Chains A and B, each alone.
Chain A
Amino acid sequence: MEIFSQLGSVIVGLYESSGLCHLGWQNYVMILISFVLMFLAIKKQYEPLLLLPIAFGMMIVNIFPEIMANPVTQMLTADQVAARGLDPASYPTTSELLTKAQVIAAGFEPSALTHVNVEGTEFYKVVYYTVTENGGLFYYLYQGVHLGIFPPLIFLGIGAMTDFGPLIANPKSFILGAAAQIGIFITFIGAIALGFKTNEAGSIAIIGGADGPTAIFVTSKLSPELLGPIAVAAYSYMALVPIIQPPIMRMLTTKKERSVVMGQLRPVSKLEKIIFPIVVVVLVAILLPDAAPLVGMLMLGNLFKESGVVDRIAKTAQNELMNIVTIFLGVTVGATASGTLFLTPKTLGIIALGLVAFCLGTACGVCFGKIMCWATKGKINPLIGSAGVSAVPMAARISQKVGQEENPANFLLMHAMGPNVAGVIGSAVAAGVLISVLK
């Protein structure tokens, strides 16, 4: 009989410690959202490198929230340390002098404490042990996001993978990269109008740059408390570029404009490619020091690649380092989307404004593409303007895809890579402006 009652208590204990007992409806909603994101990543292959770890992190944190728990420091008395079966010698101690009344109010037995006489007054010495409980696994991995370490490292890898040749061959692409950043500043006004604080509005607006690392970097400087929703929104929109951009591109261009075939780009010499990252860093870091960590690492990675003398380092930055940081960044960003913190009106507002910023960026890029098409008498296809939002290389790929729908023999990819990589530099510059004004 006793066996059955013990079995029953074990089962009740297991049930009470399980997610079934602790999870709220918000957690279940987030778990469902994570399933949708996993479906988009695996079945539709929308930026699976990012979306899959984000979705998995989102799922696991809503099932087991302690994985993201902060470390806890407790001050325990000798009795409490003994009750927990801990070794008192392993923990640092602090002591406090209390009067008799304070000792009784705190529930200690005065006779068990050491007496101390200070200038005629009797005190009791209470010794506390500082016991620190470690945080969850993702808490420690998240520090790379929280301290703004991962974004520049990701930029190092992007730089080592990026060929700036199309941009050097056609520097006018920078205009499209700049135009796509206008959405950031327009959204800033919208966020202020909706009642967000200036620093929060700056973090929300940078989502329009469609550059996850930049959004995280800016938010960690301006409003770290919004890091979770902003990172999730930025990466989700980057992953959803194939859904969001094409309708805007088709709406703003005519069939004739979409069919424009662009001339071949001139070949770019190795020397030009080597000088490019140095020139960009010197100029941007002098004019906008706040953008230096992002642009500096981006261009360092590119210099590794183009110099051709540090092949091993370039390959590490492109592959191993980039992949490791992407795993940690993706999983921990997803893990910030805990149901109770995430499903709030403020977060929904951030996600809605982020979408507006992203759409505005795309639209501004396409509109400037149309202006350039008109100015060059039809030599530039306006579709490459949408690639001015960063999201490398997905945005350029969308320009290529939409262009090819009109004319299958039209190859816009390399032309779109110009504004695309210009967009990376442009969003880093915009980030520098936001940080320097709002910090």
Chain B
Amino acid sequence: MDNMMLALSLLLAGFIIVFVVLILLIIIITVYGKIIQAAQRSSKNRKEKKNMVKTVKAPEPVKAEPAAEVKNTMPDDENGEIPGEIIAVIAAAVDAVYGSKPHRVRAVKRSGKGRSAWGNAGVISNTSPF
């Protein structure tokens, strides 16, 4: 009976202590997180202001003439949403994967909204070791 009383009191004490310690940590982390974020934001603002002042004072740089104009000869997609360069890169990537097998890129479509394909690839490569 004594042991059962000890067990019940330990259940309550353990429950309370673990929660109190971790809630204290939540409070401390939230508070110092906010303080640091605010401090970093204000220092960033100050830096930006300084930079703006410098840009105003600085003499206007001499505009360099482009050596040669590169013409965009790549065809854009049907809706004109994806630049020709991107389509060329995708076609090169497809070619690198398929190699000598016969292949043709028939359409290039944007994937759904949300995380981009590159973002997804990044997340997958980072999470696959786990």
Interface residues of A (CB under 8 A from B): 167-168, 171-172, 174-175, 177-178, 181-182, 184-186, 188-189, 192-193, 198, 201, 268-269, 271-272, 275-276, 279-280, 283-284, 287-288, 393, 396-397, 400, 409, 411, 413, 422, 425-426, 429-430, 433-434, 437-438
Q: Which residues of B contact A275 (CB under 8 A)?
A: 32, 36
B-side interface mostly: helix
Does B13 lie at the interface of the complex (its beta carbon under 8 Å from any beta carbon of A)? Answer: yes
Query: How distant is the Cα of A182 from the Cα of B18 in the complex, in angstroms?
Result: 9
Contact B29 A276 (CB under 8 A): yes
Contact B3 A171 (CB under 8 A): no
Query: How distant is the Cα of A180 from the Cα of B88 in the complex, in angstroms?
Result: 52
Q: Which residues of B contact A186 (CB under 8 A)?
A: 11
Contact B18 A181 (CB under 8 A): yes
Known A-B contacts A184-B14, A188-B10; A172 and B26 likewise in contact (beta carbons under 8 Å): yes
Query: How distant is the Cα of A400 from the Cα of B129 in the complex, in angstroms?
Result: 13
Does B86 lie at the interface of the complex (its beta carbon under 8 Å from any beta carbon of A)? Answer: no
Q: Which residues of B contact A437 (CB under 8 A)?
A: 10, 13
From 33 to 63 in chain B, residues with beta carbon under 8 angstroms from any chain A beta carbon are 33, 36-37, 40
CB distance from B54 to the nearest CB of A (A): 25
Q: Smallest CB-CB separation from A282: which chain B residue?
A: B28
Query: How distant is the Cα of A283 from the Cα of B28 in the complex, in angstroms?
Result: 10
Q: Give the contact-size bracket for chain B.
A: 20 to 34
Q: Smallest CB-CB separation from B26: which chain A residue?
A: A171
Query: How distant is the Cα of A280 from the Cα of B21 in the complex, in angstroms?
Result: 10
Listed from nearest, the 6 A-B pairs whose CB atoms lie closest are A174-B22, A185-B11, A171-B26, A185-B14, A192-B7, A178-B22
CB distance from A227 to the nearest CB of B (A): 21
Contact A269 B40 (CB under 8 A): yes
Does B19 lie at the interface of the complex (its beta carbon under 8 Å from any beta carbon of A)? Answer: yes
Contact A409 B4 (CB under 8 A): no
Q: Find B123's partner among A188, A201, A411 (CB 8 Å cutoff).
A: A411
Q: Which residues of B contact A185 (CB under 8 A)?
A: 10-11, 14-15
CB distance from B37 to the nearest CB of A (A): 7
Q: Which residues of A contact B18 (CB under 8 A)?
A: 178, 181, 426, 429-430, 433
Q: Which residues of A contact B10 (CB under 8 A)?
A: 185, 188, 433-434, 437-438
Contact A433 B17 (CB under 8 A): yes
Q: Find A168's partner among B15, B21, B23, B33 (CB 8 Å cutoff).
A: B33
CB distance from B10 to the nearest CB of A (A): 6
Q: Find B4's partner among A181, A189, A433 (CB 8 Å cutoff).
A: A189
Q: Which residues of B contact A409 (CB under 8 A)?
A: 114-115, 120
Query: How distant is the Cα of A276 from the Cα of B26 in the complex, in angstroms?
Result: 11
Contact A429 B26 (CB under 8 A): no
Known A-B contacts A181-B18, A188-B10, A271-B36; A174 and B23 likewise in contact (beta carbons under 8 Å): yes
